[in-house]
Amino acid sequence: MAEERMDAIVVGAGPAGSAAALTLARAGAEVLLIDRAATIGSKNMTGGRLYTHALNRLVPGFWEQAPVERRVTRELVTFLTEESAISLDFKSRKFGQNSYTVLRARFDPWLAGLAEEAGAMVAAGIRVDDLILENGRVVGVRCGEDEMYANVVIIAEGANCLLPRKAGLRTAEIDPKHVATGVKTTIELDRRVLEDRFQLRGGEGLAQLFVGSVTKGLPGGGFLYTNQETVSLGLVITVAGMVQNPVRPADLMEAFKCHPAIAPLIEGGRPVEYSAHLVPEGGVAMMPQVTGDGVLVAGDAAGLVLNLGYVVRGMDFAIASGIHAAEAALEAKAAGDFSRAGLAGYERRLHESFVLKELEFYRNAPHFIESTPRMFGAYPALIEGILGRMFLVNGTTEPQHVLQAAMAEMQGKASLWQLGTDAWKGVRAL
Amino acid sequence: MIKALTIEDRLGLNKFVVDEETAHITVNSEMCATCTAKPCTYACPALLYTVADGQLKFDYAGCLECGTCRVVCPKPGAISWEYPQGTFGVQFRYG
């Protein structure tokens, strides 16, 4: 066959794909970045906040030029019951450039644009239907009638992970225990109102995670991120949780919005978008094979998300994996070997970098979160009860020490033994 | 006052370019008829799976392309799931 063969084809122009294409293009490789969206970024969605470290290595000080929203200077974790909100509020100058809130329809075209400026070809509005295999080796992609060939195909198509199956890299169906559904409402607020309401100055931003009644006690939680002139408000709930306890995420979203602790934050705001996305939360347990002959898998498609409850990370993992995939492809090009063995540098790099070091380290976190339902129901109620006994004053109840109050509140919610084992498991998993 | 919005109102906020020719997701009526749980009818964030006259229906026009229905479906093969053809489907302006 005398077809033209590129160095690499990257499927999907999210953070993983664009980081891969940029790395390849900078090294002088001939690379095609394909995305099904008519406008790059318009199929992509996040909670969302981007931890800067991974992209900062590729584009130092990127926040100076990228369309990021706000620099996060205030972190809140909130336990929510139907009537109460109990928060840990961490405001610090130490955050520096740690993370920025982002909106992907704005951010992603910028990163793909960098890849294009560096020499990558960007093809928008084209869906990759299939991979082309020759003797079990991936040699290209099929888009409708068109066939395009490359020495390496980097799959960065996102959480639904359809193409790795076609390459034989994933055989099992996605396990409902390993993914969560995220829904989000983007709400427009006047910039001044937003900054006053959330106690922010200039480009400062807030990130808040919620656990408890937002998911009706099921594994998952809520989030609120402040953007320049919008607020990203949403929730994530594990698919397995929904199977066992029929709840509608669409309804949970509206109940969350109307919660007495949330409603005043978005009062006067105008909803401008409603979006949803799968979150691959299973960690290393759900990773497909990420290297095959002529093919690599990066980002959400490889299940590279870390959810610790208080920190949720995906885009930094996506970017680092995209960079590593590109580096491995360049190494394979230099050696003229695009087999699985020739591309082994990808997994080696994932293991050497934070990507698999952290996912391996926290490998028990997904199971802990999913198997400790008390985290989402009984414990928020317990904290509410104890604080209620401490702060509500009526002059008639028998005086109690905090410990007595705590013991009384635990009745019917959790035993000391459960609290102890959950705490022990938690501090070891998270 | 913050009011809960209906799902129709929420989907109405979004921009969709609907492929009038091809549905990217189709359901197998016979297989779905044997499914009692029908988790797709509540798990879909856009509530696009409905039962009318005992038959499961899916309205692909408002699809957010998340993939929840595919994962939640207990009958392998009952939901045939692809992304919309290039340029079609939901177009996030914020994301």
ipTM for the assembly = 0.98
Nearest CB neighbour to B95, from listed A44, A239, A243? A44
Query: Are the Cβ atoms of B83 and A45 closer than 8 angstroms?
Result: no
Q: Return the SS3 of B33.
A: helix
Convert the pLDDT of each residue in A190-239 to its tens digit: 999 999 999 999 999 999 999 999 999 899 999 999 999 999 999 999 99
Query: Are the Cβ atoms of B2 and A267 closer than 8 angstroms?
Result: yes
Query: Are the Cβ atoms of B92 and A104 closer than 8 angstroms?
Result: yes
B87 and chain A: CB distance < 8 Å anywhere?
yes
Query: Are the Cβ atoms of A273 and B43 closer than 8 angstroms?
Result: no
B/e letters for A252-281, b = 16+ CB within 10 Å, e = fewer, are bbbbbbebebbeebbeebebebbbbbbbbb
Convert the pLDDT of each residue in A179-188 to its tens digit: 999 999 999 9
B2 and chain A: CB distance < 8 Å anywhere?
yes
- A363 and A285 Cβ atoms separated by less than 8 Å: yes
B72 and chain A: CB distance < 8 Å anywhere?
yes
Query: Are the Cβ atoms of B71 and A174 closer than 8 angstroms?
Result: yes
Exposed, middle or buried, B44 (CB in 10 Å: 0-12/13-18/19+)?
Answer: buried
Using a CB-CB distance cutoff of 8 angstroms, which residues of chain A are in contact with residue B66?
181-182, 276-278
In Å, how far are A14, A124, A316, A322 from A165, measured between CA atoms?
Answer: 20, 23, 24, 19
Q: What is the mean pLDDT of chain A?
A: 95
Nearest CB neighbour to B14, from listed A173, A273, A278? A273
Tell me, what's the pLDDT at A2?
46
Query: Are the Cβ atoms of B95 and A243 closer than 8 angstroms?
Result: no
B54 and chain A: CB distance < 8 Å anywhere?
no
Q: Averaged over A69-98, what is the pLDDT?
A: 96
Query: Are the Cβ atoms of A127 and B72 closer than 8 angstroms?
Result: no
Whole-prediction pTM: 0.96
Angle subtended at Cα A207 by Cα A222 and Cα A194, rounded to the nearest 5 degrees:
105
Q: Averaged over A262-287, what is the pLDDT?
A: 95
Using a CB-CB distance cutoff of 8 angstroms, which residues of chain B are in contact with residue A242?
39, 42-43, 72
Convert the pLDDT of each residue in A343-399 to its tens digit: 999 999 999 999 999 999 999 998 898 888 899 999 999 999 999 988 999 888 788
